[in-house]
Structure 1
């Protein structure tokens, strides 16, 4: 990566010589009628050229609609993750490459100069320039009415806010007071650090650019309380609910919620082309149909989806393979990148004082972990194809050590009983369940988002294991947004979720998943909020080991060499494994990827996870297409 006193410059893909750009038939009529400029005028002067043969892929043809299934309208957020247009992004080999950027220069992990592609445009045809970055910085992040706490913590180093400057209409610079080695990885994330917005569109919703009368009218029409809420609603790109918001992604939303079907159509100004000049994506539309989570596997098996990973898991593999014989489907198995397919997350911030004290005692977490028979879970739920392990990095990562995987992951009910007795829970009541210090039975309500049959299947087995050591487990399914809200409010005792999002990291990727840094971390959401908010919300962690993880993370952020970062990762992984903040079960479980049999350029073998591959994003779904039947 970048070391002290050095600079790294990464250039964009260079356009191949003598390309003749080919117009997509989808836009031919609009071009002929003058509603759209011809393709050469819509592309940047230096578009990103994707050389299909060089990637081991076939040059595609324009195709119609790609159908997918989602379990609710919130899942429309998958499309910008799949499309994965980023300033810089990870390729299939997990190397950073320029995408929206023409080039960048990074000096000492501290000074980042970003250069845009000349002539690049948003999906509505407005220019994508440094002004979009300036507006985001000056008029949003440094506007106290929109960002009450000031710029996000990701733009603060050593307590000092980054210095932003516009060099020219296509070049911006971010200068940090000290090294910020995860700046580029955050730009490449599935939910990236937002540095720019389409200012030409957004100014109409901003008090500095719009009349009070018009703002009041827009507030009323959009059913919000004030112009700040209006601006926040209209600018939201992570969940693309505003079809009028310009985008740089491959597909733009055409449907506003509520709806049972959401249509995304190709972006006429998308910046990628293949090596023969065809503008990507190959698919003209993505159509998302809402179905209940329980029937997504069945609908997929009957051919109602052309590409499906969301909503299906390994237990559905047998059904999918049988469906291959009856429907034109193809099923592949990718490798999941999570530290655990299913993890138990004791909420160290829960409101219940008795359970909070117990969960913050490492003996409790260790006891719960060694009470689990992971071999049985693997055999029953994964046909023995997974790896019994704590929640940690995978062997595919250069940071892996066997002791991380084995830490407190052995099946040892005798040790679990001894640890629970030592905690003062020796007394038992009805059903041989232990008695808490306040006289209640030791029953833990484990909450799920209700979207995964695998989670429930695993939990049912774990409930048997826990009962053997005197702990009762009760399973409660809750809608995802309610589930997270309850966790933030301290109402969730224990959650079930996947393990570490990125279990295939390099030392130059941030270890922030190992420390309390986000409200999404269900084992310590209040502490995570404190960090994420720049110490303006939530509560500071008061558990020494959690504080130590944050201190180590801060050391990583100030590091300047890969060697330093490797050592810090090792310390954090060792502490994480010993403290069992996340109780892992089985990892490396295969993820079924189901596609129409005639769909091409979908990898047969790949990594699948939120981070770092952005699910399908690193494999460029804009290059997928249907072969002729």
Structure 2
């Protein structure tokens, strides 16, 4: 019965959306030979019955031509996942105004943040031609998220509201309903993240590796061939939607992985079943192929300078701007845009309040010490020396584009005041020093504070060199230790690291609808409280419960935000949480809003000249829709 109704429903949807009426569609030259050979249906049969029609003129952009190969670079093999970030095909995604709109979804309905109805596009297909339906959502929910072997911790935390999981139903093949007894206001916005949760899976493909569906003998052969211990390990190996390293796994992203195994250069080709078209009926993405080369971190700027990339920001820092400008003049055939940064701080130092060393743990938990370390930093000198005064010195706080920006929060404990820093450290009982002026810890050791870095950003290490002199003046010896990023995080999580450096909050642009979950001790990846975050994430099975009143208050305010029914109530929770962070200096911000260089080929169009380079919200290039970028001659 439902199959009979599909054409009628599609017609009704189009009638309800006259501004997005579907134009006649055009076949791409890239796939024409496959269509002519009968290996691929014509484009009119590959698109959903109601594709997403993009109004480029409304964005101030131009219609493009299909074709070309875009070259870009990453510095680690695992970073081919950036194609999922940049592609930014989401159930619902942010526009450049950071407002949420349906994307993969045809539409959605939110009833008091308790009941969410997701409506799929009739006729939408995965990149291999399989139908994309509510069964893909059902498979993930019933057979993956709630399967103890595949998901030992159960469904992800963002699906819990009031401590309870949702009721999920699938009324028909284009409708999915999530329903809670308590509000879950962050549900839709979580679906729009740079790293989305993927509450759906290509069921037809993955059932071949699931014990509830696959032939036992065939599955055993697959397990043996893959050299894994169980069918669950096999399934999880192939079920890597975000990693994007399984070229056989169907996707809904604009480009599909066309490279098997590990390579120096990975190729991604246009998804023949992609759901977006422009208002002329040209299927997106405009660019046929993306080639992503893996290079050493120190080579990104040099290769960009030589004109070996068409679009590059990752791996480039502010310090690279002079060499990039020189390449422009020397015939590099590119231009360098300077985008704003969306991180709350360009550089932040995170004292580990959960460090294993009991003496350092007690020292770090004294707010006077954290305030003193912040007051002892000459941020203006760092801004002048490293950023030519183009960044904004201050504590870690949200950016001006946020509804919650308050200059007093950026200024909190961020003045350069060594005298007050010395007074606070003395008051904290660290008043004894050696002959060189270095303070003693309560157990008699010298106050040698090891700050570990990921070793990926020269500007971070340069800033620490300046801070080394600043802190020595107040009796603290800073020892910098560069490490691999993964090693650093594991050391922080285990409590081995005293302090570390990284960017500030990824989302420095929060709005009332943004969940403040990252301001509360809910995630071990916030480097100041890894074990508190682990305790929250595991429901008390691992880690440590927060034992500072201010941290406990942050959790309470997060609950207030989640239970709020108005924007005013959510805003009130946000403001108090930000005030607590400013007062408690859980992380020591240094500078914010340093310009991010973005290298763009002279022939590449529709890349905004002024924009914000942000992880969340924004997915770096993703919010600006790289599927709409094109080469002026169709050749890359």
TM-score range, shorter chain: over 0.9
Equivalent in the alignment of 2:229? 225
Which residue in 2 is equivalent to 1:319?
323
| 2:166 corresponds to | 162
C-alpha distance in 1 between matches for 2:236 and 2:220: 15
CA displacement at 1:221 relative to structure 2: 2.2
Q: 1:388 aligns with which of 393, 396, 407?
A: 393
Deviates more, 1:416-425 or 1:75-84: 416-425
Q: Give the structure 2 partner of residue 352 of structure 1.
A: 357
The equivalent residue for 1:563 is: 568
Which residue of 2 is the match for residue 107 of structure 1?
111
Aligned partner of 1:518 in structure 2 is 523
Q: Can you list the C-alpha shifts for 1:443-478, whole angstroms capped at 9, x where unaligned? A: 122111111111111111111111111111122221
1:403-460 deviations in whole A, cap 9, x for unaligned? 1111111111111111111222212225322111222221122111111111111111
2-structure distance, mates of 1:313, 1:222: 40
Between 329-338 and 112-121, the greater mean CA deviation after superposition: 329-338
Counterpart check, 1:429 vs 2:434: yes
Q: What are the Cα deviations for residues 542-570 of structure 1, in whole angstroms up to 9, with x where unaligned?
A: 22211111111111011111010111111
Q: Does the aligned pair in 2 maintain the 1:74–1:239 contact within 8 Å?
A: yes
Counterpart of 2:262? 258
1:141 to 145, 148, 163: 145
Change (3 A) 1:483 1:135: same
Confirm whether residue 545 of structure 1 aligns to residue 564 of structure 2: no
Say whether the 8 Å CA contact 1:73–1:257 is kept in structure 2.
no
Residues 548-601 of structure 1: CA deviation (Å, up to 9, x unaligned): 111111110111110101111111010011011110011111111111111100
- The 1:430/1:616 distance shift into structure 2, 3 A limit, reads farther
Partner of residue 602 from structure 2, selected from 589, 597, 600: 597
**In the TM superposition, what are the counterparts of 1:452-601 in structure 2 within 5 Å?**
452-601=457-606
CA RMSD of aligned residues (A): 1.6
Map of 2:60 onto structure 1? 56
Inter-CA distance 454–156: structure 2 relative to 1 (3 Å threshold): same
Residue 304 of structure 1 and its aligned partner are, at CA, apart by 1.2
Pair 1:534–1:272, CA change in 2 (3 A): farther
3-state SS of paired residue (1:36): coil
Question: 2: distance between equivalents of 1:547 and 1:216?
Answer: 49
What aligned pairs does 1:281-300 form with structure 2 within 5 A after superposition?
281-300=285-304
Distance 1:332 1:505, change over 3 A: same
Q: Deviations over 1:144-183 (max 9, x none)?
A: 2222232222111112111100111100100011111111
Q: Is the 8 A contact 1:15 1:46 kept in 2?
A: no
1:4 matched to which residue of 2? none
Contact conserved, 1:152 with 1:533, CA < 8 A, in 2? no
Q: Which runs of 5+ in 1 are unaligned?
A: 1-9
- Structure 2 residues without counterparts, runs of 5 or longer: 1-12
Which residue of the partner structure matches residue 3 of structure 1? none
Residues 256/520 of structure 1: CA separation in 2 closer, same or farther (3 Å cut):
farther
Q: Per the alignment, in what secondary structure is the counterpart of residue 291 of structure 2?
A: strand
Which residue among 334, 340, 348 is the counterpart of 1:343?
348
Deviations 1:222-261, CA, capped at 9 Å, x for gaps: 2322222221121111111111110000011122342211
Map of 1:205 onto structure 2: 209
- Say yes or no: does 1:129 pair with 2:124: no
From 299, 305, 309, give the equivalent of 2:309. Answer: 305
Report deviation, 1:622.
Answer: 0.5
Match of 1:88 among 88, 92, 111: 92
Any conservation in 1 of the 2:150–2:232 contact (CA below 8 Å)?
yes
2: CA distance between counterparts of 1:411 and 1:427?
23
Deviations 1:111-138 (A, max 9, x none): 0000000000001110000000001111
Change over 3 Å in CA distance of 1:15–1:245 after alignment to 2: farther
Alignment of 1:34 onto 2:29: no
DSSP-derived class of the 1:63 partner: coil
Note the alpha carbon deviations across 1:468-526, whole angstroms, 9 max, x for none.
Answer: 11111122221112221221111211111001111111111111121112222111112
The whole-number CA distance in structure 2 between the counterparts of 1:142 and 1:567 is 35
CA offset at residue 395 of structure 1?
1.6
Q: Which residue of 2 aligns with 1:120?
A: 124
Deviation at 1:213, TM superposition (A): 2.8
Question: Would the aligned equivalents of 1:14 and 1:49 in 2 still touch at CA under 8 Å?
Answer: no
Paired position in structure 2 for 1:6: none
Moved more, 129-138 or 544-553: 544-553
Match of 1:77 in 2: 81
Question: TM-score, with normalisation over the residues of structure 2?
Answer: 0.95
Deviates more, 1:548-557 or 1:519-528: 519-528
Contact 1:280 1:622 (8 Å CA) reproduced: yes
